[in-house]
Amino acid sequence: MGRRKDKIKLGAFLLFTGHHVAAWRHPKASVGTDFENYFELAKLAEAAKFDAIFFADGVAARLKDVEAASRKAHSGVYPFEPITLLSALSSVTRNIGLIATASTSFSDPYNLARQFGSLDRLSGGRAGWNLVTSSDPEAAYNFGHEAQILHADRYDRAEEFADVVLGLWDSWDDDAFIRDRESGRYFDPERLHRLDHKGQHFMVRGPLNIPRSPQGRPVLVQAGASGPGKELAARTAEAIFAAHITLDEAKAFYADVKGKLGTYGRSPDDLKILPGIFPVVGRSETEAQEKFEALQELIQPQVGLSLLSQLSGVDLSPYPLDGPIPSDLPLTNAGKSRQELVLDLARRENLTIRQLYLRIAGARGHWQVVGTPSQIADVMEERFENYGADGFNIMAPIMPGGLADFIELVVPELRRRGLFRTEYEGTTLRENLGLKRPVNRFAVSNAAAAE
C-alpha cells in the first residue's frame, strides 16, 4: 500500500483547564473562565494552521455526587455556551474552523439550524455542528423529563432531527437573493425551497430565514460509535470525532464506517475520521513521563471513581477500589460505545477499579500517548498511514501549556515528514478539510424535474 497523498487534519479540542481530570489543580493550568483565555488558544491553533477548534457541551451540572463534583472542574459547568463563544471568536480569527456541540435530545431543529447558519455566515463559512444525543440523566430533568431518555429513542429523534436541519440549510439557492434595485425584486421565488416536514418528532414548515454561507452549510460532525451512531454518521456526517485506543480498533472502525458510505451514495472522501489523542510531550521520555505523573498525583480517589462511573454508565462506588471490575455489570442506557471501550480496556490489561480510573483520567477513553515529539509523530503517522484516522483532535492535558507544547514540538516534526500543511488551502472549513461544497438538494431536484 502506497503512502497517502492527503495530509493529516488537526483539530484543537479546547476544554477550559485541560483534559486531564485534575488539570485545574496544576499550577500552570489556566483558570479558563474568561474570553481572553479562549482568544489566546484560538489564535495559537490558527497560527499553527489547525483545521478547527472544537468545543464540547452539556446542559446540566453533574451534581449527583455533590462532594465528588465539588472537586472537579469537569462537572458539567462550562464558562460559556459554545455557539455564543464561537460567535465571539469568529470576529478575531480568519481561517480556523469553529465547531460546537449541540444536542438533538434537548434542542429544536429550526432554532439550531438558525444558530449554526448564523455562525457560518458570521465566520465566512467556517462553522461546524457536532451532533450528539444526550445520555446525561441530569440533563433530562432540565427539559421536562422525569428520567433518562432511552438510547434507541435518542437516536430515533436524532435521525429525524438531522434530516430537518439539513433540509432547512437548503432553504435557499446560492443565488436566490438577487437584490435588484431597478426591478424592485429582493429574491427570486424560484430559488426558495420550503421544507414542509411532517414526521414522528417534528413538524417544520420552513424555510429557514437565513441565506446559505460561502461553504454552503455548516460541516456536520458526529461522535457516536454505537451501531445506530455509525449508521447515522455514514448517512449524514462529514467528520467523526472517534475514540479508539489501539491501532486495530481504529482501523476496524475506519473500515466499517467508510464501508457503509456507499449504501447512502457517498464516497470515502465525503467523511473524515478524527480520533481524539491526549498527547503529553517532553523533550525527553523522562520529561514527558514526569509531566504526566505530576498530573496523575493530583487525582483524588473520589474524583477518579466519579469519572469512571460516569464513563462506564454504572455506579462503581459499592465495589472495592483495589478489586477487579465486576464481570456482570449491566448494559448502560448512557454512552454504550464508551462503556464498551472502558470495560474492554480493563479486561484487556487486567486493571483494578483504581488502576482503570488512573488509566482514563487524562484521555477519558481516547488515545493517550506520553513521549518525545518524534515518538508521538511516529504513532500518529502509523495510525494515519494505516487508515485508522484522517487526522486527530488534540486533547491537551492542561491549557494553554499542553497545546503550546504540541504546537512547538510535534507540529514541526509532522511537517518535516510532509504530513501536515504549512498554509491553509482555503478560507472555509470545507476547503481545509478537503470536503466538497454541498449542492442544494432542492435545486438539483428541480433541475432534474425540468429536464
pLDDT of residue 445: 67
| pLDDT for the residue numbered 224 | 75
State pLDDT tens for residues 421-444: 999 999 999 999 999 999 998 877
Please check whether residue 301 is in contact with residue 354, taking contact to mean a CB–CB distance below 8 angstroms.
yes
User: 104-135, pLDDT tens digit by residue?
Assistant: 999 999 999 999 999 999 999 999 999 999 87
Tell me the mean pLDDT in the region 1-5: 78
Check residues 261 and 154 and name the one with the higher pLDDT. 261
pLDDT at residue 168 above 60? yes
Output the pLDDT for position 76: 80
52 to 117, 171, 219, 222, 279: CA distances (angstroms): 17, 26, 11, 15, 18
Report the pLDDT value the prediction gives residue 346, as an integer from 0 to 100: 85
Count of residues in the chain: 451
Residue 75's pLDDT band (cuts 50, 70, 90) = confident
Question: When comparing pLDDT for 337 and 156, which is higher?
Answer: 156
**Grid-cell match 455533590, residue found:** 66
Residue 306's nearest CA partner among 352, 351, 369, 360 is 360
pLDDT in the model for residue 336: 66
Statement: residue 449 has pLDDT above 80: no
pLDDT tens-digit map of 179-190:
999 999 999 999
How confident is the model over 376-397, as a mean pLDDT?
A: 98
Secondary structure in 3-state letters for 20-77? CCCHHHCCCCCCCCCHHHHHHHHHHHHHCCCCEEEECCCCCCCCCCHHHHCCCCCCCC
**HSE-up of 423 (CA within 13 Å, CB side)?**
3
What is the C-alpha separation between 350 and 313, in angstroms, rounded? 20
Q: What is the pLDDT of residue 344?
A: 85
Is the bond preceding residue 400 a cis peptide, omega within 30 degrees? yes
Q: Comparing 49-63, 96-110, 266-280, 334-348, which segment has the lowest mean pLDDT?
A: 334-348
> Which of 47-51, 320-324, 328-332 has the least mean pLDDT?
328-332
- With CA atoms as reference, report the closest residue to 12 among 49, 47, 42, 53: 53
pTM of the model: 0.93
Lowest mean per-residue pLDDT among 17-21, 136-140, 193-197, 238-242? 136-140
**Phi, psi (deg, nearest 5) at residue 400:** -90, -5
Handedness of CA 436, 442, 448, 451 (dihedral sign): negative
Among the listed residues 11, 142, 15, the one whose alpha carbon sits nearest the alpha carbon of residue 78: 15
Alpha helix segments (H runs only) across 261-409: 285-296, 301-312, 336-349, 353-360, 373-385, 401-405
Average pLDDT estimate for 61-65 = 77
Among 141, 57, 143, residue whose Cα is nearest residue 103: 57
Mean pLDDT over each residue of the chain, to the nearest integer:
92
The percent of the chain in helix, strand and coil, each rounded to the nearest 5, is 45, 15, 45
Q: What is the pLDDT of residue 440?
A: 93
Position 173, amino acid:
D
Question: Residue 22 in contact with residue 299, Cβ under 8 Å?
Answer: yes
Give the CA distances from residue 308 to residues 66, 135, 274, 354, in Å, rounded to whole numbers and listed in that order.
Answer: 16, 15, 24, 9
| pLDDT attached to residue 132 | 93
Q: Residue 1: is its pLDDT beyond 70? A: no
Band (325; pLDDT cuts 50, 70, 90): confident
| pLDDT tens sequence across 200-214 | 999 999 999 999 999
Mean pLDDT across 349-377: 93
Phi, psi of 421 (to 5 degrees): -60, 160
Chain segment 260-298, per-residue pLDDT in tens: 999 999 999 999 999 999 999 999 999 999 999 999 999
Amino acid at 261: L
Band of pLDDT at residue 448, cut at 50, 70 and 90: low
